[in-house]
């Protein structure tokens, strides 16, 4: 559950299919971790997911890399930090096996690429999800469906995904007999169907879409277009400056064309954000806006609906 429209649509689809919601739980990857970093993600995203889970009365479990994205990016001749996973039995800390790996250095942002070795931020989340399944005995001898919200319409890369396949953590024919399937229920949906599903259930569009973003990824996503960087530089200048400072420190830009985020921002005009409630929410970590539209209040399509500005992994 990223907190974006597509993962919310997956949850609503389960409800509409009559799934026993007592068997459903939400997992959210906390990009910046819990150790103080605020570099990449929206400040409210963790609490928004808490409010979302509370509204639908389903449990929510967080996972994160210690010191988050920023800590991994600053790795210098060292090992990646431990991974943390919330479980029904408490916090699980997964240490790194230094016997099977060598010290490494990053000191650069992930690059825009379909390769998860180059775009290592996505690999962090995928690997953590796999290890979260592999290291909980409650998934042994059971059948688990791991649901994510990718859609073919989003990119040529996602257009090639399977809708149903064995998950990387699956060992159904092995000694541990852990059966895990990966299902992408909205893979063939178009964007209209996603918004119609949220409207049918009265779920308000998440804040990034209300601000004009077409995707709800990290606020400082490496896939951000010039217009998104212009909008961040205008409304959240400290966020853009921190990214630019790291680009200067590393001697490497996020952009393949070797322009800094501030140079890219100057090439475009920012969105004119009219949703002041959403803009104010974007500056604070506690989520205070409603999850559902108030009774009798019309559901509103957000400014970012059907836009094509780059602002999320493909």
> Residue 190's closest CA among 151, 150, 158?
151
Kindly state the tokens that stand for 218: 């990290």
Q: In whole angstroms, give the CA distance from residue 133 to residue 180.
A: 9
Q: In whole angstroms, give the CA distance from residue 259 to residue 160.
A: 31
Pairing, β 143-147 against β 60-65 = unpaired
- Which sequence spans correspond to the domains of the chain? 5-131+189-201, 224-272
How does residue 44 score in pLDDT terms, banded at 50, 70 and 90?
very high
Q: In whole angstroms, give the CA distance from residue 200 to residue 95.
A: 44
pLDDT digits (tens, 9 = 90+) for 64-102: 999 999 999 999 999 999 999 999 999 999 999 888 888
- How far does Cα 40 stand from its chain's mean position? 11
Tell me phi and psi for residue 196, to 5 degrees: -60, -35
pLDDT digits (tens, 9 = 90+) for 116-128: 888 899 999 999 9
Q: Is residue 140 predicted with pLDDT exceeding 80?
A: yes
The 10 Å Cβ neighbour count of residue 97 is: 8
Q: Is residue 314 predicted with pLDDT exceeding 80?
A: no
- The length of the chain in residues reads 314
Pairing, β 90-94 against β 164-166 = unpaired
Kindly state the tokens that stand for 294: 């108030």
Kindly state the tokens that stand for 124: 């962090």
pLDDT digits (tens, 9 = 90+) for 231-274: 999 999 999 999 999 999 999 999 888 999 999 999 999 999 99
How does residue 173 score in pLDDT terms, banded at 50, 70 and 90?
very high
- How far does Cα 2 stand from its chain's mean position? 4
């Amino acid at each position: 559950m990223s907190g974006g429209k597509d993962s919310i649509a997956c949850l609503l689809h389960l409800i509409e299919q009559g799934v026993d919601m007592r068997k459903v739980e939400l997992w959210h990857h906390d990009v910046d971790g819990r150790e103080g970093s605020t570099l990449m993600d929206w400040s409210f995203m963790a609490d928004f997911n808490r409010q979302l889970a509370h509204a639908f009365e389903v449990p929510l479990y967080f996972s994160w890399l210690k010191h988050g994205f920023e800590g991994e990016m600053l790795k210098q001749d060292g090992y990646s930090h431990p991974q943390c996973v919330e479980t029904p039995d408490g916090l699980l800390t997964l240490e790194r096996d230094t016997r099977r790996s060598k010290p490494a250095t990053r000191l650069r942002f992930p690059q825009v690429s379909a390769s998860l070795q180059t775009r290592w931020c996505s690999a962090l989340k995928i690997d953590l999800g796999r290890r979260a399944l592999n290291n909980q005995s409650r998934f042994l001898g059971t059948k688990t469906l791991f649901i994510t919200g990718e859609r073919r319409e989003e990119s040529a890369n996602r257009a090639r995904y399977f809708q149903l396949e064995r998950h990387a953590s699956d060992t159904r024919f092995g000694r541990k007999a852990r059966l895990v399937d990966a299902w992408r229920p909205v893979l063939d949906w178009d964007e209209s169907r996603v918004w119609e599903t949220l409207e049918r259930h009265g779920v308000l569009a998440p804040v990034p879409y209300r601000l004009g973003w077409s995707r709800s990824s990290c606020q400082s996503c490496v896939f951000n277009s010039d217009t998104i960087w212009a909008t961040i530089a205008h409304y959240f200048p400290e966020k853009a400056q921190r990214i630019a400072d790291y680009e200067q420190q590393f001697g490497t830009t996020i952009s393949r064309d070797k322009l800094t985020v501030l140079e890219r921002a100057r090439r475009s005009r920012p969105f004119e954000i009219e949703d002041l409630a959403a803009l104010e929410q974007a500056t604070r970590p506690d989520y205070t806006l409603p999850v559902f539209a108030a009774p009798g209040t019309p559901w509103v399509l957000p400014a970012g609906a059907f836009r094509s500005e780059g602002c999320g992994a493909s």
